[in-house]
Each structure stands twice: as structure tokens, then as C-alpha cells.
Amino acid sequence: MVGDEGEGFEPDVLADPLAPENQLKTSGRGIFYMKTFMDDIAFSRGEAGGTVLTMRKNLNAESNAKGVKSA
């Protein structure tokens, strides 16, 4: 679980990092990568404000490498 103490943000209104106008930007891909590599992510509001991000990754062999079998 990761949280911030700032104003927070709305995860549903983030810019698409794959859109042509965003491809050369040097920021804005963190949430995209988390959604890509984690099995589950959830956003909520912190008690004192900000946004809390909870991430889950399954560590079993079947879900670890999608389509790749372990040796």
C-alpha cells in the first residue's frame, strides 16, 4: 500500500500515456506500468486526504509469467 499526503488525484481522469500527444512526454506512465505489471490495483482516499494505492501481485508460477512456463 502506498499513499500520499497531497490533494490526491482522480485515477479515472488520467491522460492516456499511449495517446500520440503524450508519447514524447517524460512523465505520466507510472499508473500505466502498475496496471500492466500488477494483478490488481485499487485507489482510495486517505483518511487525511491524498490518494492511497493498494497493489497486489500473485507470486505463483501460473500467473507470474502470462503465457510463459517456468523451467
Q: Give pLDDT tens digits for 11-61.
A: 888 999 999 999 999 999 999 999 999 999 999 998 888 899 999 999 986
Q: What radius of gyration do the chain's Cα atoms show?
A: 15
What confidence category does residue 3 fall into, taking pLDDT thresholds of 50, 70 and 90? confident
Q: Residue 46: what pLDDT?
A: 87
Grid cell at residue 55? 497493489
Grid cell at residue 6? 497531497
CA distance readout (Å), 22 to 26, 33, 61 = 9, 15, 35
What is the Cα–Cα distance from 23 to 32, expressed in whole angstroms?
A: 13
User: What is the per-residue pLDDT across 34-47, written as a single tens digit (0 to 9) for each?
Assistant: 999 999 999 999 88
Backbone angles phi, psi at 12, to 5 degrees: -80, -10
Q: Residue 63: what pLDDT?
A: 54
